[in-house]
């Protein structure tokens, strides 16, 4: 079974999306290395073995701070920035892994966007986590000239963080070239937030498997809150036997980008 093929909208660059998947997989490797080292609480105590691909230059890990979860309050690495030569910079943000991440996922109250002139309301848990990684993210970006183009990418929860980073960085640098590529991202904010991003960030693409449940959360009407996706949807259909397979970065999303006309991976159980 081939599934519904990927159809690319104008300005979508498959090469950028494939590079994003490549480095997002390394963000999960980074987290696994941190676990194997006993989850050190201090960034300087974590020894990340970054990829050694020729010509690519990596920042220090993007690190979360404390998030007010009581006993569940463990700083952790969330990704990195990477640049090939003097070209564009990728901001790479992974998805949910720890109990703290799940607590952030579940806090679907909405709060006002804290950056002017951005508008609207956003998911409180996602914003709490983004604010905790923001100092490390800005420090990583500070090593590049402000005219350097930036591609912000994320998978799952990382896609939500990438949306908030997009709004924050656009408010900070109105003229900077910012692209956005997410994979299986949940909804992040209300219609006003989505409309502001759509107006100010034209090259924002959400790659979505229509069998993946994560992009359907939070629900469009969630109690007293309304949620709406931003950006252009780049959709395909690949239905597998489990929720995790439908959401898999490598076996679902990565495979579809490599096989856009027949995105169903026959090596994965259906």
pLDDT tens per residue, range 115-154: 998 899 999 999 999 999 999 999 999 999 999 999 999 9
Q: How confident is the model at residue 70 (pLDDT cuts 50, 70, 90)?
A: very low
Res. 201: pLDDT tops 60: yes
| Closest to 247 measured CA to CA, from 190, 216, 209 | 209
Q: How confident is the model at residue 69 (pLDDT cuts 50, 70, 90)?
A: very low
Residue 55, beta-bridge partner list: none
**Structure tokens given for 226:** 């309304």
pLDDT score at 62: 97
In this predicted model, what pLDDT tens digit does every residue of 97-119 receive, in sequence order? 855 655 566 788 999 999 998 89
**Structure tokens given for 210:** 């229509």
Count CB-CB contacts under 10 A for residue 9: 9
Alpha carbons 222 and 212: distance in angstroms, whole number:
19
Q: How confident is the model at residue 26 (pLDDT cuts 50, 70, 90)?
A: very high
Q: Which stretches of the chain are DSSP H helices?
A: 14-36, 99-106, 124-141, 157-172, 191-200, 243-247, 255-258
Res. 73: pLDDT tops 80: no
Higher pLDDT, residue 87 or 70: 87
Q: Considering the chain, what is the average pLDDT of its residues?
A: 92
Tell me the mean pLDDT in the region 50-61.
93
As separate numbers, helices (DSSP H) first and strands (DSSP E) second, the chain gives 7, 12
Alpha carbons 228 and 210: distance in angstroms, whole number:
16
Q: How confident is the model at residue 173 (pLDDT cuts 50, 70, 90)?
A: very high
Q: Which residue has the tokens 């494939």?
A: 18
Alpha carbons 14 and 98: distance in angstroms, whole number:
30
User: Are the CB atoms for 264 and 270 separated by under 8 Å?
Assistant: yes
Angle between helix 191-200 and helix 157-172 axes, rounded to 10 deg: 60
- Backbone region of residue 193 per phi and psi (left: phi > 0; alpha: psi in -120 to 50; beta: other values): alpha
pLDDT score at 42: 87
pLDDT score at 184: 97
Tell me the mean pLDDT in the region 199-208.
97
Tell me the mean pLDDT in the region 72-84.
87
In this predicted model, what pLDDT tens digit does every residue of 238-249 receive, in sequence order? 999 899 999 999
Q: Global pTM?
A: 0.95
Q: State what percent of residues in the chain have pLDDT above 70.
A: 93
| Closest to 167 measured CA to CA, from 187, 154, 152, 156 | 152
Alpha carbons 196 and 116: distance in angstroms, whole number:
11
**Structure tokens given for 74:** 């463990």
pLDDT score at 105: 64
**Structure tokens given for 156:** 């799952």
Q: How confident is the model at residue 67 (pLDDT cuts 50, 70, 90)?
A: low
User: Are the CB atoms for 159 and 186 separated by under 8 Å?
Assistant: yes
Which amino acids are annotated catalytic? 156, 212
Question: What phi, psi does 229 have (nearest 5°)?
Answer: -70, 150
Res. 168: pLDDT tops 70: yes
- Neighbour-count burial of 107, counting CB atoms closer than 10 A to its CB (0-12 exposed, 13-18 middle, 19+ buried): middle
pLDDT score at 270: 66
pLDDT score at 99: 55
């Amino acid at each position: 079974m081939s599934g519904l093929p990927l159809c690319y909208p104008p300005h979508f660059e498959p090469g950028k999306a494939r590079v994003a998947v490549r480095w997002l997989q390394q963000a999960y490797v980074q987290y696994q290395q941190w676990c194997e080292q006993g989850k050190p609480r201090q960034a300087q105590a974590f020894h990340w073995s970054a990829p050694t691909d020729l010509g690519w230059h990596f920042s220090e890990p993007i690190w979360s701070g404390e998030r007010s979860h009581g006993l569940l309050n463990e700083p952790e690495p969330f990704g990195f920035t990477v640049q090939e030569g003097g070209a564009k910079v990728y901001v790479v943000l992974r998805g949910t892994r720890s109990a703290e991440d799940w607590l952030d996922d579940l806090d679907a109250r909405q709060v006002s966007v804290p950056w002017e002139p951005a508008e609207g309301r956003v998911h409180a848990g996602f914003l709490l986590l983004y604010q905790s990684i923001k100092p490390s993210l800005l420090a990583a970006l500070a090593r590049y000239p402000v005219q350097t183009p930036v591609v912000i990418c994320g998978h799952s929860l990382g896609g939500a963080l990438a949306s908030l980073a997009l709004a924050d960085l656009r408010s900070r640098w109105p003229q900077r070239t910012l692209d956005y590529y997410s994979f299986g991202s949940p909804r992040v904010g209300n219609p006003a937030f989505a409309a502001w991003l759509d107006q100010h960030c034209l090259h924002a693409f959400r790659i979505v498997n229509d069998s993946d449940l994560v992009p359907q959360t939070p629900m469009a009407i969630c109690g007293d809150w309304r949620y709406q996706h931003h950006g252009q949807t780049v959709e395909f259909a690949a239905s597998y036997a489990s929720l995790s397979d439908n959401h898999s970065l490598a076996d679902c999303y990565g495979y579809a980008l490599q096989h856009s006309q027949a995105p169903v991976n026959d090596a994965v159980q259906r």
